[in-house]
Amino acid sequence: MSSDRARSRSRRLAAALAGALLLGADGTCQLLPGEMVHVPAGDFTMGSTVGDPDEAPVHTVHLDGYWIDRTEVTVDAYAACVDAGVCKQSNSSTSCNWNHADRGDNPVNCVTWKQAHDYCAWLGERLPTEAEWEKAARGTEAR
């Protein structure tokens, strides 16, 4: 198998395992069916009056529709990026899932924004914006 083909296969496998909060760079669903959910275009209420001061003021934001992964990136999916030499290992303190053999299907945690960004770039994806993340997290019931 050519190295480009193996790399492509590895990326598809990592994407299938990832379940990351990633968006298709061109707005299309690039992961296996069922891995991503579509968040429809529209207005939503962003911010909070009861959270940290940087969450205020409450305001209305309009977003175009987008795709976002249903679940978090797993340790095993992130490890594929590390094994490829693209990503740096996650922190391995006791509260982190990295370097625990029984946590491969758990969400990878204890990564920096840059590590998350590098992982997304490796898959040809990007991290969601703050507004995209908040709209997806609030769900259709505007929690």
| Strand stretches in 80-139, DSSP E | 125-126
Q: Any residues with CB less than 8 A from the CB of 115 and at least 6 apart, and which?
A: 87, 88, 90
- Predicted TM-score (pTM) above 0.85: no
For residue 16, pLDDT over 50 is answered with no
For residue 29, pLDDT over 60 is answered with no
Residue 59 near residue 45, CB atoms below 8 Å: yes
What is the Cα–Cα distance from 90 to 37, expressed in whole angstroms? 27
- Residue 71: pLDDT band (50, 70, 90) is confident
